[in-house]
Amino acid sequence: MKLNRNFNLLLTGQSLANIGDVLYIVSVIYLIFELTGSATAAAFVPFTITASMFLSNTLTPLLMQRFNLKWLLTGSQMGKNALLILLACLLPQLSLSNYYVLFLLIGMVALLDGCANPVTQTLIPNYVESEQLLKANGIAETVTQSIQTAMWFVGSSLLIWLSANDLVWLTAALFFLSSLLLCGLESVNITPSKEQSKRQQITQGWQTVSASPVLKRIAWMDVLETVAGTVWIAAILYVFVSDALSAGEQWWGFINGSFFLGLITGSLFCLHFSDRIEQKLSQFIFLGAFSGSLATILFGLNSLPLLALLLSFLVGLFGQIKNIPQQTVVQTSVPKGQLPMVFTTLGAIGTGTFGIASLIMGVLADSFGIRGVFVLSGILLAAVSLVAYKGRVLLWRTVQE
């Protein structure tokens, strides 16, 4: 696939930002744990991020109809750069009495991230020809998951040689470089509707999703899949490794790495066989969900660490085989002008569901056992495959310009 200049700039700029995001979260979690000695306080970092991104996804439609998407994305990275510089300057003064300031800054960064994600997803179909869209999504997902896999290890290792403050400065530099690259993108505007009130602009995406049979079905699939995916959060997976596998804590890292390797492999599979998948999007969405269901249930019933590595790899692989075609369906199911509102709505549904489901899964794990929640996750993915199968006619890619 020959990549065009805009896609190259977008992918490179967002890749630098994604590297910075991981380094920044690693440094902040380390700082909070060093200051408080509390794992609970450190665990509130992802909770704060999720809550802030939900709020951002809800309010972003107001910005998308007022600002050029290129400058909205660039501005979000510039804002993150400014916040990281502020954080780096404040770190020497932080103590146990005022570390709550960290959570305020974390929330503000997440607000900007919640704006950047749907804008990026909207820009891809504006910069890439329709027939190359699935390949572009495959490339973007491969790069993103590779960064996620590598940078958690790299970020933790860098703390051996660099202080957390140095890591924050490095992150700020990455956000600055990302901003410079994104400035070179071509402008993409969303024509605002002057007749709409602010409330109508916020709810427009929800109305579009509810009025579209294919988007409504995908939203339900997202809810079920997000609930199912909460079993893979660090706290639950760590308990599974300890109690169900009777393995050392290093296996938690191995299984995490295997899962992300599965995601990367799934992205490469979609990229390599994009022409074939392009013709059978609905079948691959069903296949990915159903196969992921079986792999998750087997993972929950398994007691062998080595087999757990293989099964976690398969869960990641089949999840990506489902997600990339599904994203392509979303990008081509409505006119491009409606995509920002659609993605902010789906993002709000995802982050809101994840925040609530994470707490519920923790309670269920304590009540019914750690194996039970993985079996439940597999059943939920089976429900996703059923929804996909029943809506297979709707899930054909329909391009509407």
374-399 pLDDT, tens digit per residue, is: 999 999 999 999 988 887 766 654 43
Query: Is the residue at 34 inside a domain?
Result: yes
Q: What CATH number is given to the structural domain containing 78?
A: 1.20.1250.20
Band (pLDDT 50/70/90 cuts) for residue 4 is: confident
Q: Is pLDDT of 184 > 60?
A: yes
pLDDT, residue 56, reads: 82
pLDDT, residue 2, reads: 45
Query: Is the residue at 191 inside a domain?
Result: no
Say whether both 207 and 243 belong to one domain: yes
The count of domains in the chain is 2
Angle CA 114–118–123, to nearest 5: 140
Domain that residue 214 falls in: 198-392
The DSSP 8-state label assigned to residue 333 in this structure reads T
Token pair for 66: 């007022």
Say whether both 104 and 249 belong to one domain: no
Residue range 107-122, pLDDT digits in tens: 899 888 888 878 888 8
Q: How many CB atoms lie within 10 A of CB 94?
A: 18
Helix (H, G, I), strand (E, B) or coil at 4: coil
For the chain, the 3-state helix, strand and coil shares in percent, each to the nearest 5, are 85, 0, 15
DSSP-assigned letters across all residues of 248-314 = -THHHHHHHHHHHHHHHHHHHHHHHTHHHHHH-HHHHHHHHHHHHHHHHHHHHH---HHHHHHHHHH
Q: How far apart are CA 285 and CA 325, in angstroms?
A: 6
Q: Helix (H) and strand (E) counts for the chain?
A: 15, 0
Residue range 194-219, pLDDT digits in tens: 555 566 666 777 788 888 888 888 88
Say whether both 98 and 237 belong to one domain: no
Say whether both 276 and 373 belong to one domain: yes
Q: Is pLDDT of 234 > 70?
A: no
Say whether both 215 and 326 belong to one domain: yes
Say whether both 169 and 257 belong to one domain: no
Say whether both 111 and 152 belong to one domain: yes
Say whether both 383 and 327 belong to one domain: yes
- E-assigned strands of 65-105? none
Query: Is the residue at 49 inside a domain?
Result: yes
Q: Is pLDDT of 95 > 50?
A: yes
Q: Is pLDDT of 230 > 50?
A: yes
- What is the Cβ-side half-sphere exposure of residue 391, based on CA atoms within 13 angstroms? 22
Say whether both 79 and 159 belong to one domain: yes
Domain boundary among 152, 184, 216: 184
Q: How far apart are CA 303 and CA 241, in angstroms?
A: 9
Say whether both 58 and 144 belong to one domain: yes
Residue range 140-166, pLDDT digits in tens: 888 887 887 777 667 767 777 888 888
Q: Is pLDDT of 401 > 60?
A: no
Mean pLDDT of the chain: 82
